[in-house]
Each structure stands twice: as structure tokens, then as C-alpha cells.
Amino acid sequence: MKKSEVPQDKSALEHFTREVCYVKNEEGQYDTALSTGWETKKVALDQAWEEIDRRINDAKEQVLKGEASPILYFMELKLMDLSVLAGYTKFWKWQIKKHMKPAAFAKLSEAQLKRYANAFDISVAELTNTTFK
């Protein structure tokens, strides 16, 4: 691709980042150019964010229905999985799965809640408040 052909399509990330592309300059030598993105990548990113939003909303609904604890919601909101959350909290993955159940969550100590709150960068009050205002 020539430097003048580098795509500059609008995307959700255009004001935050640019992508380096390797292109040929006027002399035919390889050079770099910055791109704000291209349509195909924009569509893929938009679909990924839609899926993330769907997962967050599903988790929220599960918490509001009493089917899951707020840990599930905040894990989805903060784009974490069990391994990442286990790394931050020092809980085993099986413990986190157990804590995702409302009955087990209700029995967590203040210290355990604080570990989760720190991992999610929120207060214990925000973690235990399931109204999601």
C-alpha cells in the first residue's frame, strides 16, 4: 500500500489512538504511516463493544433477579475474567465462582469484600449496593 492510500476512516478510537501501518513511500522504500482505522476494523470493534455491553446488561439482570452476586456484574463491567480477578484478589477461581452466588456473597467478610472492591477500584458500599444507580 502506498502512503497516500492509508485508510483514515472514522472509528470509536480515532481520538485516542492511531495504528502504525507499513507502507511504501514515493521512492518505493518501506516507511510508516498512521491510520485512524478503516471501515472493516470499525465494524469489528463496534460488534465487540456491543457484545461487551450485552454481557454487562445480562450480568446486571442476573444480579437484580438474585441469580448472581454483584461480583459477576463488576467483573464484566471491568472487562475481567476469572483468571484476572483471581490475580487481583488472590482468591482461587473456584472461590470466586462460589462468591458469585448471592448466598455465598452475603457471607463474605468485610476484608474479603474489600479485596473485591480494591480489584474493581470501587468502594465496598458500591460493591454491595445492587441498585446500580
Q: What is the mean pLDDT of residues 64-83?
A: 97
- pLDDT, mean over the chain: 90
The overall pTM is greater than 0.85 = no
Mean of pLDDT values over 54-70: 97
The domain ranges of the chain are 3-37, 48-128
Average pLDDT rounded to a whole number, residues 51-71: 97
CATH number of 48-128: 1.10.260
Residue 13 in this model has a pLDDT that exceeds 70: no
The arithmetic mean of pLDDT across residues 77-86, rounded, is: 97
Residue 119 binned pLDDT confidence (cut-offs 50, 70, 90): very high
Give the Cα separation of 68 and 35 in Å (integer). Answer: 42
